[in-house]
Amino acid sequence: MTFGVEADEPEAHRQLDRFLEAGGTLVDTANTYGAGGSEEIIGRWFASRPAEVTGRVVLATKGRFPLDDAPNGSGLSARHLTRALDASLRRLGLDGVDLYQAHAFDPWTPLEETLRTLDGFVQAGKARYYGLSNFTGWQLTKAVHLARAMNIAGPVTLQPQYSLLVREIEWEIVPAAVDAGVGLLPWSPLGGGWLSGKYQRDTRPAGATRLGEEPGRGMEAYDRRGTERTWRVIDAVRKIAAARGVTMAEIALAWVTDRPAVSSTILGARSTDQLEANLRAADLHLTAAESAELDAASDPAPPDYPYGEMGAEQRSRSLAGGR
Protein backbone atom coordinates (compact mmCIF):
# COMPACT_ATOMS: atom_id res chain seq x y z
CA MET A 1 0.00 0.00 0.00
CA THR A 2 2.98 2.29 0.49
CA PHE A 3 4.24 1.84 -3.10
CA GLY A 4 3.80 5.04 -5.09
CA VAL A 5 2.44 6.86 -2.04
CA GLU A 6 5.00 6.66 0.79
CA ALA A 7 7.69 4.77 -1.14
CA ASP A 8 8.68 5.86 -4.65
CA GLU A 9 9.37 3.34 -7.41
CA PRO A 10 13.13 2.86 -6.84
CA GLU A 11 12.50 2.37 -3.11
CA ALA A 12 9.63 -0.03 -3.80
CA HIS A 13 11.84 -2.10 -6.10
CA ARG A 14 14.58 -2.18 -3.47
CA GLN A 15 12.07 -3.48 -0.94
CA LEU A 16 10.85 -6.19 -3.31
CA ASP A 17 14.42 -7.29 -4.06
CA ARG A 18 15.33 -7.40 -0.38
CA PHE A 19 12.13 -9.21 0.55
CA LEU A 20 12.78 -12.02 -1.92
CA GLU A 21 16.44 -12.16 -0.92
CA ALA A 22 15.31 -12.74 2.67
CA GLY A 23 13.11 -15.64 1.56
CA GLY A 24 9.78 -13.82 1.37
CA THR A 25 7.20 -14.88 -1.20
CA LEU A 26 3.81 -13.19 -0.71
CA VAL A 27 3.45 -9.75 -2.32
CA ASP A 28 0.06 -8.21 -1.59
CA THR A 29 -1.39 -5.15 -3.32
CA ALA A 30 -4.78 -3.78 -4.47
CA ASN A 31 -6.10 -1.79 -7.40
CA THR A 32 -6.86 1.18 -5.14
CA TYR A 33 -3.35 1.44 -3.66
CA GLY A 34 -1.95 4.62 -5.12
CA ALA A 35 -4.95 4.70 -7.50
CA GLY A 36 -3.42 1.84 -9.48
CA GLY A 37 0.13 3.09 -9.04
CA SER A 38 1.16 0.24 -6.73
CA GLU A 39 0.19 -2.40 -9.30
CA GLU A 40 2.04 -0.50 -12.04
CA ILE A 41 5.21 -0.31 -9.92
CA ILE A 42 5.02 -4.02 -9.15
CA GLY A 43 4.35 -4.79 -12.80
CA ARG A 44 7.46 -2.91 -13.91
CA TRP A 45 9.46 -4.78 -11.24
CA PHE A 46 8.23 -8.08 -12.67
CA ALA A 47 9.16 -6.97 -16.19
CA SER A 48 12.68 -5.93 -15.16
CA ARG A 49 13.64 -9.04 -13.17
CA PRO A 50 14.54 -12.56 -14.37
CA ALA A 51 11.77 -15.14 -14.41
CA GLU A 52 13.64 -17.31 -11.90
CA VAL A 53 13.38 -14.41 -9.44
CA THR A 54 9.77 -13.36 -10.06
CA GLY A 55 8.68 -17.00 -10.27
CA ARG A 56 9.07 -17.27 -6.49
CA VAL A 57 6.47 -14.54 -5.89
CA VAL A 58 2.96 -15.39 -4.76
CA LEU A 59 1.20 -12.30 -6.07
CA ALA A 60 -2.07 -11.10 -4.57
CA THR A 61 -4.27 -8.15 -5.46
CA LYS A 62 -7.80 -7.02 -4.64
CA GLY A 63 -10.90 -5.44 -6.16
CA ARG A 64 -14.07 -3.88 -4.74
CA PHE A 65 -13.65 -0.11 -4.34
CA PRO A 66 -13.88 2.56 -7.05
CA LEU A 67 -10.99 4.23 -8.85
CA ASP A 68 -13.26 6.90 -10.33
CA ASP A 69 -16.88 8.04 -10.18
CA ALA A 70 -18.10 5.95 -13.11
CA PRO A 71 -21.55 4.35 -12.73
CA ASN A 72 -21.39 0.79 -11.34
CA GLY A 73 -17.70 1.39 -10.66
CA SER A 74 -17.57 -0.39 -7.31
CA GLY A 75 -18.82 -3.46 -5.51
CA LEU A 76 -18.54 -7.20 -6.04
CA SER A 77 -20.81 -7.58 -9.04
CA ALA A 78 -19.72 -9.70 -12.01
CA ARG A 79 -19.52 -6.56 -14.12
CA HIS A 80 -17.32 -4.60 -11.77
CA LEU A 81 -15.04 -7.43 -10.61
CA THR A 82 -14.39 -8.57 -14.18
CA ARG A 83 -13.43 -5.07 -15.26
CA ALA A 84 -11.40 -4.50 -12.10
CA LEU A 85 -9.35 -7.70 -12.48
CA ASP A 86 -8.75 -7.10 -16.19
CA ALA A 87 -7.51 -3.58 -15.39
CA SER A 88 -5.28 -4.92 -12.60
CA LEU A 89 -3.73 -7.48 -14.96
CA ARG A 90 -3.03 -4.74 -17.51
CA ARG A 91 -1.29 -2.64 -14.87
CA LEU A 92 0.69 -5.63 -13.66
CA GLY A 93 1.52 -6.75 -17.19
CA LEU A 94 0.56 -10.32 -16.33
CA ASP A 95 -1.92 -12.92 -17.56
CA GLY A 96 -2.98 -13.86 -14.04
CA VAL A 97 -2.37 -13.45 -10.31
CA ASP A 98 -1.97 -16.12 -7.67
CA LEU A 99 -4.60 -14.73 -5.30
CA TYR A 100 -7.47 -12.38 -6.13
CA GLN A 101 -9.32 -10.97 -3.12
CA ALA A 102 -12.70 -9.35 -2.64
CA HIS A 103 -11.56 -6.24 -0.76
CA ALA A 104 -14.71 -5.97 1.40
CA PHE A 105 -18.23 -7.37 1.60
CA ASP A 106 -20.86 -5.94 -0.78
CA PRO A 107 -24.38 -5.96 0.70
CA TRP A 108 -25.93 -4.94 -2.63
CA THR A 109 -24.71 -7.88 -4.75
CA PRO A 110 -25.97 -11.44 -4.21
CA LEU A 111 -23.10 -13.45 -2.77
CA GLU A 112 -23.85 -16.22 -5.28
CA GLU A 113 -23.01 -13.82 -8.12
CA THR A 114 -19.74 -12.78 -6.48
CA LEU A 115 -18.61 -16.35 -5.79
CA ARG A 116 -19.55 -17.53 -9.28
CA THR A 117 -17.52 -14.67 -10.73
CA LEU A 118 -14.48 -15.42 -8.56
CA ASP A 119 -14.70 -19.12 -9.45
CA GLY A 120 -14.84 -18.09 -13.11
CA PHE A 121 -11.55 -16.23 -12.70
CA VAL A 122 -9.99 -19.43 -11.31
CA GLN A 123 -11.39 -21.55 -14.15
CA ALA A 124 -10.12 -19.05 -16.73
CA GLY A 125 -6.64 -18.92 -15.19
CA LYS A 126 -6.85 -15.22 -14.34
CA ALA A 127 -6.46 -16.14 -10.66
CA ARG A 128 -5.09 -19.37 -9.19
CA TYR A 129 -7.08 -18.91 -5.97
CA TYR A 130 -9.39 -16.33 -4.48
CA GLY A 131 -9.78 -14.88 -1.03
CA LEU A 132 -11.73 -12.35 0.97
CA SER A 133 -10.81 -9.25 2.94
CA ASN A 134 -12.57 -7.41 5.76
CA PHE A 135 -15.43 -9.93 5.92
CA THR A 136 -17.09 -10.64 9.27
CA GLY A 137 -17.39 -14.13 10.71
CA TRP A 138 -20.89 -14.79 9.40
CA GLN A 139 -20.00 -13.42 5.97
CA LEU A 140 -16.98 -15.70 5.73
CA THR A 141 -18.96 -18.73 6.88
CA LYS A 142 -21.76 -18.00 4.43
CA ALA A 143 -19.27 -17.68 1.56
CA VAL A 144 -17.53 -20.96 2.44
CA HIS A 145 -20.71 -23.01 2.71
CA LEU A 146 -22.38 -21.35 -0.27
CA ALA A 147 -19.39 -22.20 -2.45
CA ARG A 148 -19.60 -25.81 -1.29
CA ALA A 149 -23.32 -25.93 -2.04
CA MET A 150 -22.69 -24.49 -5.52
CA ASN A 151 -19.87 -27.01 -6.09
CA ILE A 152 -17.39 -24.29 -7.02
CA ALA A 153 -14.00 -23.19 -5.71
CA GLY A 154 -14.17 -21.61 -2.27
CA PRO A 155 -12.09 -18.87 -0.64
CA VAL A 156 -8.69 -19.91 0.70
CA THR A 157 -7.76 -16.77 2.66
CA LEU A 158 -9.23 -13.92 4.65
CA GLN A 159 -7.36 -10.65 5.16
CA PRO A 160 -8.53 -8.89 8.35
CA GLN A 161 -7.02 -6.17 10.50
CA TYR A 162 -5.30 -7.94 13.40
CA SER A 163 -2.80 -6.82 16.02
CA LEU A 164 -2.35 -6.53 19.76
CA LEU A 165 -4.53 -3.41 19.50
CA VAL A 166 -7.25 -5.04 17.38
CA ARG A 167 -8.12 -8.45 18.80
CA GLU A 168 -11.89 -8.42 18.43
CA ILE A 169 -11.64 -10.71 15.38
CA GLU A 170 -10.85 -13.50 17.86
CA TRP A 171 -14.49 -13.52 18.95
CA GLU A 172 -15.99 -14.77 15.66
CA ILE A 173 -13.69 -14.34 12.64
CA VAL A 174 -10.75 -16.45 13.84
CA PRO A 175 -12.98 -19.38 14.90
CA ALA A 176 -14.82 -19.18 11.56
CA ALA A 177 -11.50 -19.26 9.67
CA VAL A 178 -10.20 -22.20 11.70
CA ASP A 179 -13.47 -24.09 11.15
CA ALA A 180 -13.34 -23.48 7.38
CA GLY A 181 -9.62 -24.13 6.98
CA VAL A 182 -9.11 -20.60 5.66
CA GLY A 183 -5.75 -18.90 6.25
CA LEU A 184 -5.60 -15.43 7.78
CA LEU A 185 -3.41 -12.68 6.27
CA PRO A 186 -3.46 -9.93 8.92
CA TRP A 187 -3.06 -6.35 7.77
CA SER A 188 -1.78 -3.53 10.00
CA PRO A 189 -0.08 -5.95 12.44
CA LEU A 190 1.73 -2.97 14.02
CA GLY A 191 -1.50 -1.05 14.57
CA GLY A 192 -0.63 1.64 12.03
CA GLY A 193 2.83 2.06 13.58
CA TRP A 194 1.64 2.40 17.18
CA LEU A 195 3.25 -0.88 18.26
CA SER A 196 6.66 0.16 16.95
CA GLY A 197 6.91 2.60 19.86
CA LYS A 198 7.11 5.71 17.70
CA TYR A 199 4.29 7.55 19.53
CA GLN A 200 4.43 8.78 23.12
CA ARG A 201 1.77 9.31 25.76
CA ASP A 202 0.70 12.98 26.08
CA THR A 203 2.90 14.00 23.13
CA ARG A 204 1.13 14.56 19.85
CA PRO A 205 2.90 13.04 16.80
CA ALA A 206 5.12 15.26 14.68
CA GLY A 207 7.68 14.88 11.93
CA ALA A 208 7.99 12.20 9.25
CA THR A 209 5.59 9.63 10.67
CA ARG A 210 2.14 8.72 9.39
CA LEU A 211 0.37 10.48 12.24
CA GLY A 212 2.91 13.29 12.31
CA GLU A 213 1.90 14.08 8.75
CA GLU A 214 -1.80 13.29 9.24
CA PRO A 215 -2.84 13.08 12.94
CA GLY A 216 -6.48 12.33 12.10
CA ARG A 217 -5.69 9.42 9.80
CA GLY A 218 -8.53 6.87 9.87
CA MET A 219 -8.92 4.37 12.68
CA GLU A 220 -5.29 4.82 13.76
CA ALA A 221 -5.78 8.55 14.48
CA TYR A 222 -3.99 9.75 17.61
CA ASP A 223 -7.13 10.91 19.41
CA ARG A 224 -9.03 7.74 18.49
CA ARG A 225 -6.38 5.14 19.28
CA GLY A 226 -4.50 6.88 22.09
CA THR A 227 -6.51 5.20 24.85
CA GLU A 228 -5.34 3.90 28.20
CA ARG A 229 -5.56 0.35 26.89
CA THR A 230 -3.28 1.25 23.95
CA TRP A 231 -0.63 2.69 26.26
CA ARG A 232 -0.90 -0.37 28.50
CA VAL A 233 -0.24 -2.63 25.50
CA ILE A 234 2.67 -0.46 24.33
CA ASP A 235 4.23 -0.60 27.78
CA ALA A 236 4.00 -4.40 27.80
CA VAL A 237 5.53 -4.68 24.33
CA ARG A 238 8.33 -2.28 25.31
CA LYS A 239 9.11 -4.30 28.45
CA ILE A 240 9.42 -7.62 26.59
CA ALA A 241 11.39 -6.04 23.72
CA ALA A 242 13.89 -4.58 26.17
CA ALA A 243 14.31 -7.92 27.93
CA ARG A 244 14.85 -9.69 24.61
CA GLY A 245 17.13 -6.98 23.19
CA VAL A 246 14.97 -6.57 20.08
CA THR A 247 12.68 -3.88 18.70
CA MET A 248 9.08 -3.43 19.75
CA ALA A 249 8.00 -4.08 16.15
CA GLU A 250 9.64 -7.50 16.23
CA ILE A 251 7.72 -8.44 19.38
CA ALA A 252 4.38 -7.23 18.00
CA LEU A 253 4.91 -9.03 14.68
CA ALA A 254 6.01 -12.25 16.37
CA TRP A 255 2.86 -12.21 18.50
CA VAL A 256 0.45 -11.90 15.57
CA THR A 257 2.33 -14.25 13.24
CA ASP A 258 2.09 -17.12 15.74
CA ARG A 259 -1.65 -16.73 16.32
CA PRO A 260 -4.06 -19.52 15.27
CA ALA A 261 -4.94 -19.67 11.53
CA VAL A 262 -2.40 -16.98 10.54
CA SER A 263 -0.70 -17.99 7.27
CA SER A 264 1.29 -14.83 6.57
CA THR A 265 1.53 -11.30 7.93
CA ILE A 266 1.17 -8.24 5.71
CA LEU A 267 3.97 -5.68 6.15
CA GLY A 268 3.58 -2.09 4.92
CA ALA A 269 7.03 -0.51 5.11
CA ARG A 270 7.81 3.04 4.05
CA SER A 271 11.51 2.29 3.63
CA THR A 272 13.95 -0.60 3.22
CA ASP A 273 15.24 0.11 6.74
CA GLN A 274 11.74 -0.43 8.14
CA LEU A 275 11.40 -3.60 6.08
CA GLU A 276 14.72 -4.91 7.41
CA ALA A 277 13.57 -4.37 10.99
CA ASN A 278 10.27 -6.12 10.32
CA LEU A 279 11.90 -9.10 8.59
CA ARG A 280 13.85 -9.91 11.74
CA ALA A 281 10.59 -10.94 13.37
CA ALA A 282 10.42 -13.99 11.10
CA ASP A 283 12.86 -15.87 13.33
CA LEU A 284 11.45 -14.65 16.64
CA HIS A 285 9.01 -16.69 18.71
CA LEU A 286 7.66 -15.65 22.09
CA THR A 287 7.61 -17.83 25.16
CA ALA A 288 4.30 -18.90 26.67
CA ALA A 289 4.89 -16.45 29.54
CA GLU A 290 5.61 -13.56 27.18
CA SER A 291 2.52 -14.32 25.10
CA ALA A 292 0.39 -14.54 28.23
CA GLU A 293 1.67 -11.16 29.41
CA LEU A 294 0.82 -9.56 26.07
CA ASP A 295 -2.57 -11.29 25.98
CA ALA A 296 -3.42 -9.92 29.41
CA ALA A 297 -2.33 -6.38 28.56
CA SER A 298 -4.23 -6.37 25.26
CA ASP A 299 -7.41 -8.12 26.40
CA PRO A 300 -10.26 -6.18 24.72
CA ALA A 301 -12.48 -7.05 27.72
CA PRO A 302 -15.65 -8.28 25.99
CA PRO A 303 -18.98 -8.16 27.82
CA ASP A 304 -19.91 -11.24 29.83
CA TYR A 305 -22.09 -12.74 27.10
CA PRO A 306 -21.54 -14.18 24.58
CA TYR A 307 -17.80 -13.51 24.47
CA GLY A 308 -16.84 -12.79 28.07
CA GLU A 309 -16.48 -15.08 31.05
CA MET A 310 -20.01 -16.50 30.96
CA GLY A 311 -19.88 -16.99 27.21
CA ALA A 312 -16.50 -18.71 27.39
CA GLU A 313 -17.86 -21.11 29.99
CA GLN A 314 -20.83 -21.95 27.79
CA ARG A 315 -18.62 -22.55 24.76
CA SER A 316 -16.44 -24.85 26.86
CA ARG A 317 -19.50 -26.90 27.83
CA SER A 318 -20.53 -27.15 24.19
CA LEU A 319 -17.09 -28.36 23.15
CA ALA A 320 -17.19 -30.95 25.92
CA GLY A 321 -20.54 -32.25 24.74
CA GLY A 322 -22.58 -30.67 27.55
CA ARG A 323 -25.46 -28.24 27.27
At 19-32, the pLDDT tens digits run 999 999 999 999 99
Alpha-carbon span 158 to 15, nearest angstrom? 24
Whether the per-residue pLDDT at 288 is higher than 80: the answer is: yes
Span 209-220, mean pLDDT? Answer: 61
The pLDDT of residue 200: 84
* Number of domains making up the chain: 1
**Per-residue confidence at 220, pLDDT binned at 50, 70, 90?**
low
The pLDDT of residue 318: 45
**Per-residue confidence at 303, pLDDT binned at 50, 70, 90?**
confident
Q: Taking a C-beta distance cutoff of 8 angstroms, is the pair 117, 82 a contact? A: yes
Inter-helix orientation angle 111-124/137-150, to 10°? 60
Whether the per-residue pLDDT at 284 is higher than 60: the answer is: yes
Note if the bond before 306 is cis, omega within 30 degrees: yes
Whether the per-residue pLDDT at 174 is higher than 70: the answer is: yes
The one-letter amino acid code at 160 reads P
The one-letter amino acid code at 18 reads R
The pLDDT of residue 257: 95
Pairing, β 183-184 against β 26-28: unpaired
Whether the per-residue pLDDT at 227 is higher than 90: the answer is: no
Residues in the chain: 323
The pLDDT of residue 172: 94
- Tell me the whole-structure pTM to 2 decimals: 0.91
Span 170-196, mean pLDDT? Answer: 95
The pLDDT of residue 131: 98
Q: Is residue 135 part of a domain?
A: yes
Q: Is 278 helix (H, G, I), strand (E, B) or coil?
A: helix
- The CA distances from residue 166 to 104, 218, 274, 284, in Å, are 18, 14, 22, 21
Alpha-carbon span 185 to 187, nearest angstrom? 7
- The CA distances from residue 272 to 7, 16, 42, in Å, are 9, 9, 16
Q: Is residue 275 part of a domain?
A: no
For 159, the enclosing helix (H) or strand (E) is strand 157-159
**Per-residue confidence at 321, pLDDT binned at 50, 70, 90?**
very low
Q: Is residue 167 part of a domain?
A: no
CA angle 27, 51, 125 (to 5 degrees): 65
Q: Is residue 91 part of a domain?
A: yes
The pLDDT of residue 119: 98
- Ranking 58-72, 140-154, 204-218, 258-272 by mean pLDDT, the lowest is 204-218
Whether the per-residue pLDDT at 319 is higher than 50: the answer is: no
**Per-residue confidence at 309, pLDDT binned at 50, 70, 90?**
confident
* pLDDT (tens digit per residue) in 234-260: 999 999 999 999 999 999 999 999 999
The pLDDT of residue 134: 97
The pLDDT of residue 206: 63
The pLDDT of residue 205: 61
Q: Is residue 119 part of a domain?
A: yes
Q: Taking a C-beta distance cutoff of 8 angstroms, is the pair 39, 29 a contact? A: yes
Q: Is residue 102 part of a domain?
A: yes
Between 153 and 318, residue with greater pLDDT: 153
The pLDDT of residue 170: 94
Nearest residue to 32 via CA among 5, 72, 70: 5
Known catalytic residue at 100: no
Span 198-226, mean pLDDT? Answer: 67
Span 212-229, mean pLDDT? Answer: 70
Buried-state track 202-235, b at ≥16 Cβ within 10 A, e below 16: eeebeeeebbeeeeebeebebeebbeeebbebbe
Range of the domain at 5: 1-159
Q: Is residue 197 part of a domain?
A: no
Span 91-97, mean pLDDT? Answer: 98
Please tell me which residue in 33, 100, 129, 130 is annotated as part of the active site: 33
The sign of the dihedral angle between the CA atoms of 99, 106, 189, 18 is: positive
Alpha-carbon span 246 to 254, nearest angstrom? 11
CATH code, domain with 84: 3.20.20.100
Whether the per-residue pLDDT at 183 is higher than 90: the answer is: yes
Q: Is residue 56 part of a domain?
A: yes
The pLDDT of residue 28: 98
